[in-house]
A and B are shown apart, each in its own frame.
Chain A
């Protein structure tokens, strides 16, 4: 996992040397979006499609929203209609792993053809600017003395991603991770508001959600789940450097129907990687605040397998499964 992440960032950094306007590599892509118009998956697919078509690497892109079953409907559709879905890419993200483990879907994500992870975000533990907590050790001390006194807010469901990340950090620090007093909120913004209002003592969220406020001194990030400090945020300490080997990346990426031909797969993998070097991609990326984490083909597959195994072990231990 570590190797991939470091590689991914090296690639992301070197990516700014733009390959201006590549030639067309794929005629058309049909994006299948497992949620409604306007959501996060929708934005990822449309933004990616926009960069692909504007840079000329893909002739045309179409988008299909298919909500239902928390994303399960689209997965089922792609598998059941594999024969006629050669030109389809489905967008998805970390929750597909978690939800597959929970048995929410009729199918597992491993039934699909994995194309590439393209963007992502690390998780961060955050406290308010007036908090006495300066680093992860302080947080751990409060947690160890009485976990109920440490209300940790997050923007996902109890037992979901933000909860898992907080539990992961405490577990790797040797504490009993099952006692996390987690306050779930509907969205990251509301969780952040709860931190500022003092309702929550700490916040577990995506780095992207907290970084701007941290730069303005409103909140303090006491640790990110990256393997090493990030170029975009050199002042933010990692959990790892504080002796807690908790690593986690929330990715977004693309999947294709089962039984996709090797050359088609290779073409998709290549075009999703090449596009990240273009100005058109950079414009979309900056607009959405994405972090480039290009993770192609078989690396993506093995990354997902590792992530699945890790999350499964953690969720089993925490009694989430």
Chain B
């Protein structure tokens, strides 16, 4: 193995390769910030260029740079303007955007960068050590287990179900599930609930919904509230750019990074799960493990709540290379495209890859290490400048955020109907905010809804009943975990309140 790593390193440490990874990271980061252009489209666009470089290792290293850069770029727009361009960075905005709103954008970006780096690197180490046994592990997952995994992911909404809000949060997640059933799915022959609108055949677009729920209402709210606008920005200039993490914060996020690198990686290994599920489950897990006071911060700017999904989604992205490299199965849209790139380079991933093309196998792994390191080195100095975007005068910032959000649904689609839908939904979302309805549960329900129904439907077809829910141990275990995720915080909050009530009673 060490020999293999050294082979890969030798191939990767040329001047050209390093130059290419730097170029790749920069391109990825900047294009990744544009909503609507996720890692998948950026890699698809860059493949012809990467292939033209000739040497497979150099091409792969460049693509790895683009990939990690694009993932980080997506996190940037989630944190700064609440505009997650891809599903896997939605959970990042839950706490990243509140932090930015408190004037701690620089810090939030640093936590994101460090967490991404750690998740990606630990993921790469796990990939180096355990690729083959993990591939066997991935094969034990059926639709039944995926269904249970999605249920566990749904519990992430608990963070938005504050006191007196539980029913409203549940209502919003149900609305998200309803939205997910619109259009043509994988399971059934006809498009459902399109109300005769042809553009709904393919469903409500992710970018359309996320911009309508998150970015547009934020920007419109700044339009509505002139007072809020005038204060922020100026005085906090120093803090916005300040990227230091305090020792206390570092102590808080270190165990989160440790746990989520492993958990995220394992979820990423499953061909039917991926980075988005990993980020939601990571968020839900850390919220449950946190102390009662820390838990209250989730959704309001918790450093743990930011670090968890950022670590998990990067570790999962790395994990999704396991089925691709060892089984030849693309576990995600991005790895499907990378698989195409590998084939273009004359390499066929699969069980024989390690023996037949060790330099490629190790080249991919080494490219991950290098991509992560280079991205961190490049981005840390850039963060103050990226964060400074927020200090742009509002007369420019607001129209740009609106324009940016609209572009996200339009770029590469050229379909104006999506824009009308987005504007209409943004109006609805603004109303919902006025009535204190939490919006993140809608998007959680929307993203998980499709997978929830597909996996449930397949399991019912396969087993002709519901027995699998208790007969398959892993499914049962995951479902129990999901129930615990809901009950444990309720119980511990109740205990905390009892304790406080006793104290006050004694104090009186």
Q: Which residues of A are interface residues toward B (Cβ below 8 A)?
A: 36-38, 42-43, 50, 64-70, 72-73, 102, 104, 106, 148, 151, 156-160, 181-187, 189-190, 192-194, 196-199, 212-213, 215-218, 286-289, 320
A212 and B44 contact, CB distance less than 8 A: no
Contacts of A64 in B (CB 8 A): 414
Contact A192 B329, CB 8 Å, known A70-B184, A157-B189, A187-B336: yes
Contact with A along B202-215 (1 / 0, CB 8 A): 10000000000000
A197 and B415 contact, CB distance less than 8 A: no
Contact A66 B142, CB 8 Å, known A38-B337, A193-B272, A289-B343: no
A151 and B462 contact, CB distance less than 8 A: yes
Q: How far is the CB of A222 from chain B (nearest CB, A)?
A: 19
B415 and A67 contact, CB distance less than 8 A: yes
Rounded to whole angstroms, the CA-CA distance of A152 and B9 in the bound complex is 43
Contacts of A198 in B (CB 8 A): 139, 142
Residue from the list B47, B48, B140, B418 in contact with A197, Cβ < 8 A: B140
Q: Add 17 more A-B contacts to A68-B201, A70-B191, A158-B188 (CB < 8 A).
A: A37-B45, A65-B413, A68-B198, A68-B199, A68-B202, A69-B199, A183-B458, A184-B458, A186-B454, A190-B272, A196-B329, A197-B142, A198-B142, A215-B348, A216-B348, A216-B352, A218-B328
Contact with A along B403-420 (1 / 0, CB 8 A): 000000001111101100
Cβ of B435 within 8 Å of any chain A Cβ, yes or no, is: no
A213 and B199 contact, CB distance less than 8 A: no
Q: How far is the CB of B350 from chain A (nearest CB, A)?
A: 5
Cβ of B427 within 8 Å of any chain A Cβ, yes or no, is: no
B48 and A183 contact, CB distance less than 8 A: no
A37 and B201 contact, CB distance less than 8 A: no
Contact with A along B344-357 (1 / 0, CB 8 A): 10001011100000
A73 and B464 contact, CB distance less than 8 A: no
A106 and B140 contact, CB distance less than 8 A: no
Q: How far is the CB of B441 from chain A (nearest CB, A)?
A: 23
Contacts of B411 in A (CB 8 A): 37
A288 and B344 contact, CB distance less than 8 A: yes
A67 and B202 contact, CB distance less than 8 A: yes
Rounded to whole angstroms, the CA-CA distance of A214 and B368 in the bound complex is 29
A197 and B139 contact, CB distance less than 8 A: yes
Residue from the list A184, A194, A287 in contact with B51, Cβ < 8 A: A287
B461 and A181 contact, CB distance less than 8 A: yes
Cβ of B340 within 8 Å of any chain A Cβ, yes or no, is: yes
Rounded to whole angstroms, the CA-CA distance of A181 and B461 in the bound complex is 8
Cβ of B323 within 8 Å of any chain A Cβ, yes or no, is: yes
Contacts of B44 in A (CB 8 A): 37-38, 42-43
Task: Name A187's closest neighbour in chain B (CB-CB).
Answer: B336
- Beta-carbon contacts under 8 Å, B351-379 to A: 351-352
Rounded to whole angstroms, the CA-CA distance of A53 and B272 in the bound complex is 38
Contacts of B348 in A (CB 8 A): 212, 215-216
B198 and A158 contact, CB distance less than 8 A: no
Contacts of A160 in B (CB 8 A): 189
Q: How far is the CB of B243 from chain A (nearest CB, A)?
A: 33
Residue from the list A50, A70, A106 in contact with B202, Cβ < 8 A: A70
- Beta-carbon contacts under 8 Å, B145-197 to A: 184-191
Contact with A along B331-343 (1 / 0, CB 8 A): 1010011001001
B188 and A73 contact, CB distance less than 8 A: no
Rounded to whole angstroms, the CA-CA distance of A151 and B459 in the bound complex is 11
A72 and B198 contact, CB distance less than 8 A: yes
Rounded to whole angstroms, the CA-CA distance of A38 and B337 in the bound complex is 9
A320 and B199 contact, CB distance less than 8 A: no
Q: Which 9 A-B pairs have the closest CB atoms?
A: A287-B344, A37-B412, A159-B189, A69-B198, A193-B271, A189-B330, A199-B142, A38-B41, A38-B44
Contacts of B41 in A (CB 8 A): 37-38
The 23 sampled A-B contact pairs (Cβ below 8 Å) are: A38-B41, A65-B413, A68-B201, A68-B413, A102-B190, A104-B201, A148-B464, A157-B187, A160-B189, A183-B143, A183-B458, A183-B462, A184-B187, A185-B458, A186-B454, A189-B331, A190-B271, A193-B139, A196-B139, A197-B139, A213-B327, A216-B348, A289-B340
What secondary structure prevails in chain B residues at the interface with A? loop
Residue from the list B191, B202, B323, B350 in contact with A193, Cβ < 8 A: B323
Task: Name A39's closest neighbour in chain B (CB-CB).
Answer: B44
Cβ of B30 within 8 Å of any chain A Cβ, yes or no, is: no
Q: How far is the CB of B190 from chain A (nearest CB, A)?
A: 8
B413 and A216 contact, CB distance less than 8 A: no
Q: How far is the CB of B353 from chain A (nearest CB, A)?
A: 9
Contacts of A37 in B (CB 8 A): 41, 44-45, 411-413
Cβ of B40 within 8 Å of any chain A Cβ, yes or no, is: yes
Rounded to whole angstroms, the CA-CA distance of A206 and B506 in the bound complex is 73
Rounded to whole angstroms, the CA-CA distance of A183 and B51 in the bound complex is 36
Contacts of B191 in A (CB 8 A): 70, 104
Rounded to whole angstroms, the CA-CA distance of A70 and B47 in the bound complex is 26
B414 and A216 contact, CB distance less than 8 A: no
Contacts of B333 in A (CB 8 A): 187
Contacts of B221 in A (CB 8 A): none
A218 and B198 contact, CB distance less than 8 A: no
A68 and B188 contact, CB distance less than 8 A: no
A72 and B201 contact, CB distance less than 8 A: yes
Contacts of A156 in B (CB 8 A): 186
Contacts of A158 in B (CB 8 A): 187-189
A189 and B329 contact, CB distance less than 8 A: yes
Rounded to whole angstroms, the CA-CA distance of A245 and B329 in the bound complex is 30
Most chain A CB within a 10 A radius of its CB, from B41, B45, B138, B413: B413
Q: How far is the CB of A11 from chain B (nearest CB, A)?
A: 23
Contacts of A286 in B (CB 8 A): 344
Contacts of A184 in B (CB 8 A): 186-187, 454, 458
Q: How far is the CB of B131 from chain A (nearest CB, A)?
A: 15
Contacts of B139 in A (CB 8 A): 193, 196-198
Rounded to whole angstroms, the CA-CA distance of A198 and B143 in the bound complex is 11
Task: Name B40's closest neighbour in chain A (CB-CB).
Answer: A38
Task: Name B43's closest neighbour in chain A (CB-CB).
Answer: A38
Task: Name A208's closest neighbour in chain B (CB-CB).
Answer: B343
A106 and B336 contact, CB distance less than 8 A: no
A193 and B336 contact, CB distance less than 8 A: no
Most chain B CB within a 10 A radius of its CB, from A42, A65, A216: A216
Q: How far is the CB of B229 from chain A (nearest CB, A)?
A: 35
Rounded to whole angstroms, the CA-CA distance of A102 and B189 in the bound complex is 9
Task: Name A321's closest neighbour in chain B (CB-CB).
Answer: B189
Task: Name B464's closest neighbour in chain A (CB-CB).
Answer: A148
Contacts of A72 in B (CB 8 A): 198, 201
Task: Name B356's closest neighbour in chain A (CB-CB).
Answer: A216
Rounded to whole angstroms, the CA-CA distance of A148 and B461 in the bound complex is 9
B187 and A212 contact, CB distance less than 8 A: no
Task: Name A201's closest neighbour in chain B (CB-CB).
Answer: B462
